[in-house]
Chain A
Amino acid sequence: MTVQLVTEKGKEKCDPAFTKEVMERSHSHLERCYQCIACSSGCPGAYQMDYPPHQLLRMVQLGLKDRVLDSNTFWICLSCETCATRCPNEIEIVLVMDVLREIALKEGRKGTTKLPLFHATFLNMVKMFGKVYELGLILVYTIFSGNILRLKGLMRDAVLGVKMFMRGKLAILPPKVKGKAQIKRIFQLSSKTG
């Protein structure tokens, strides 16, 4: 039997298995949330989110999987931990966001932001070099995100880049780690299970 919910968007499918998966993987008692809005009130990214955290939690409770996973909320989330610190019910909201990102990526839903690309580029640097190659990260992300085509932002960052370079703040060569093979193995095995 499919459970449906009548919302302002018409009839939406509820997926209890999704609710259960998020609760189990985030070790969070989501059922405790009584919409006090402490999380959203202190959230520094809420003003840019499709749904502020308290609404997203309610949608996870209801199993509105598609709406949750296609929202930008957990991509915008800064993981600043303000919400989880203030939650009177000790819900690990940041862990919930982490789990939502993992599920979204696994299902190939990359949302409307460029943040999945940023995280992937960052981790690729670590996988390749063992440490973050900052100059490489900036260049690769700027090209592949298409930011290189946005003139205003590009000029701003180019000016900043030159200033940083002149001050010796951007190492030209990538960093080195001897245990590179070990790091690669960690990436390969944890991406299989994680």
Chain B
Amino acid sequence: MAKIKYGYYPGCSLESTAKEYDLSMHVTAKKLDVELVELHDWNCCGASSGHCTNYELSLALPARNLAIAEKAGLNVAVACAACYLRFKQTNHDLKKNDVLRQKIEELIEMPYKGDVEVKHLLEVFAREVGLEEVKKRVKKPLKGLKLAAYYGCYLVRPPDVTQFDNPEQPMLMDNLLAALGAEPVEYTHKVECCGGSLLLGRVDIVQKLVDDICQAALDAGAQAIVTACPLCMANLDTRQPKTKVPIIHFSELTGLALGAEPKQYNVWLKKHINSPVPILKAKGLI
């Protein structure tokens, strides 16, 4: 297999509230021979607040990062679902409007042709490395672990922009978890919104949405929920009003199954508010 190499865009949360996502991503990528080169001097994508209030800004902020990747001759692998959509939306909008593309080039003071490919790391691991290859490298199958794969909004929607998977019933993360030996459960809320950018602004709404998701996962028999986004993680892990469901990044579970060392996964796992340690211990995985 040819070496897979990407320009890595962690996004702001991975330097702070989702540090464990970043750490586990690097370990997992290494185990799968994916080389991640962090984009030089990257900046925030603007997230929801960008597109909510200033359209041009919402394109220019991601475009600066994409232009940096283009200059380095790299395609981009993104860890955060929100950054992922902002990057994809920028490419999508600039591709069909050359006047706008030139205007954004002026704003960022860099050329950008618009041809840098953007992937989420879940796609890189499950599609590009491939489930068969992942399966071959599993050292510690996640046997007996019942998991609810949670996709949220921005991986799957808008489908014509992200082109990730079926927008109502995605299966990519379920299939990866199955390849790692776990049992993904069928449940009703895999693409329901977690409350996203209302995290601080309307905690009441976030709590209701998070509660609905966690209850649905529990009703389906899940022992933990798996995310591919640091913002989904933040909402689900910190805003559960009643339940105490452990929430785990897909990269942590992948790393664990591929044989991460205790000194590595202990650092990740102790950073969660609702600890996944008891269930992983009960299954003999740590």
Write the residues of chain A forming the contact surface with B, with a CB cutoff of 8 angstroms. 44-45, 48, 76, 78-82, 84-85, 94, 97-98, 101-102, 105, 113-116, 118-120, 122-123, 126, 130-132, 134-135, 137-138, 141-142, 145, 153, 160, 163-164, 167-171, 175, 177-179, 182-183, 185-187, 189-191, 193-194
Contact = CB atoms under 8 A, between A and B. Distances in A.
Interface of B: 12-13, 15-19, 41-44, 46-57, 60-61, 64, 103, 106-109, 153-154, 157-159, 167, 191-193, 195-198, 200-205, 209, 238, 270-273
A171 B143 CA distance: 35
A138 to B, nearest CB: 7
A187 B167 CA distance: 33
The 6 closest A-B pairs by CB, nearest first: A81-B157, A80-B193, A119-B49, A122-B49, A132-B12, A190-B56
A153 B201 CA distance: 12
Contact of A82 (B42, B46, B193): B193
Nearest to B13: A134
6 contacts: A44-B192, A134-B16, A167-B273, A169-B19, A170-B16, A193-B103
B86 to A, nearest CB: 11
A169 B197 contact: no
Contacts, number: 170
A190 B192 contact: no
B153 A80 contact: yes
Contacts of B157: 80-82, 84-85
Given A82-B153, A126-B61, A141 B271 contact: no
Contact of A169 (B53, B55, B109, B271): B271
A163 B107 contact: no
Nearest to A156: B203
